[in-house]
């Protein structure tokens, strides 16, 4: 179990720190559309993550057979991790040269934040998960790590639910602050939006380099090159 969480914690941190989801959640909480739209956004993200867990958890679970976490990733999984590492490095390099974030939602979605309905906010949350390569990578890697740990069905489900909850912890914390401390939430959310808007490029570069390196080490280790 300790080895599993050693794999999951970096994935949780990476999932939680993707800047665009935090910015959109904070903007919705500060918008005229109301706080319920932020709840709907996170609900949309959660539904897609759970669907990924059901579909890909079944596929990966069938594919792992009797392997355990101590066996390390197979060659096919290691090659996938190598490709993922390269994608993270490419993302960091693109941001270094001021290219737009590929995981950002279309500009028309951002323009309608103030007037968005809960249904559209739910669709936006689902869309962010579906078009965001980083979200796919982190979630599928978590599913693979849980399947390889061979915990049994019940414990595996609980481990994945914990991953989902912790991956969304910053968003849930922001929503909790908005509901429980409405008088102070405005300044807090404005600070979050301002910080992430100013430092989005740096954060994306850091995430790309850190997690690119992490996936690269895992891949090379699985291929027997480290």
- Give the pLDDT confidence of 59-98 residue by residue, as tens digits: 665 555 544 444 444 576 677 678 778 888 888 888 888 7
Single out the residue of 104, 100, 96 nearest to residue 205, CA to CA: 96
Single out the residue of 168, 161, 136 nearest to residue 17, CA to CA: 168
Rounded to two decimals, the pTM is 0.79
Residue 10 contacts residue 90 (beta carbons within 8 Å): no
Q: Which residue has the higher pLDDT, 110 or 21?
A: 21
Take residue 12 and report the two structure tokens written for it: 């949780």
Take residue 67 and report the two structure tokens written for it: 């392997």
Tell me: pLDDT of 55 over 70: yes
Count CB atoms within 10 A of the CB of residue 41. 28
Predicted local distance difference test score (pLDDT) of residue 152: 86
Q: Which residues are CB-contacts of 70 (< 8 A; sequence separation ≥ 6)?
A: 3
Predicted local distance difference test score (pLDDT) of residue 100: 62
């Amino acid at each position: 179990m300790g080895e599993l969480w050693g794999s999951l914690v970096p994935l949780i941190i990476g999932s939680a720190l993707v800047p665009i989801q935090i910015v959109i959640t904070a903007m919705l909480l500060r918008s005229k559309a109301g706080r319920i739209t932020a709840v709907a956004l996170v609900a949309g993200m959660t539904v897609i993550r759970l669907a990924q867990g059901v579909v890909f958890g079944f596929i990966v679970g069938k594919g792992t057979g009797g392997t355990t976490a101590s066996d390390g990733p197979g060659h096919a999984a290691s090659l996938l991790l190598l490709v993922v590492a390269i994608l993270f490095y490419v993302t960091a390099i693109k941001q270094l040269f001021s290219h737009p974030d590929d995981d950002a939602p279309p500009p028309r979605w951002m323009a309608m934040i103030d007037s968005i309905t809960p249904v559209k906010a739910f669709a936006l949350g689902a869309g962010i998960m579906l078009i965001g390569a980083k979200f796919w990578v982190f979630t599928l890697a978590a599913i693979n790590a849980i399947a390889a740990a061979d915990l049994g069905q019940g414990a595996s489900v609980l481990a994945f639910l914990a991953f989902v909850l912790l991956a969304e912890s910053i968003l849930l914390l922001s929503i909790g602050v908005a509901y429980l401390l409405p008088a102070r939430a405005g300044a807090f959310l404005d600070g979050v939006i301002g910080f992430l808007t100013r430092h989005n490029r740096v954060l994306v570069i850091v995430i790309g380099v850190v997690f690119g390196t992490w996936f690269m080490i895992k891949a090379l280790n699985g291929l027997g090159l480290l």
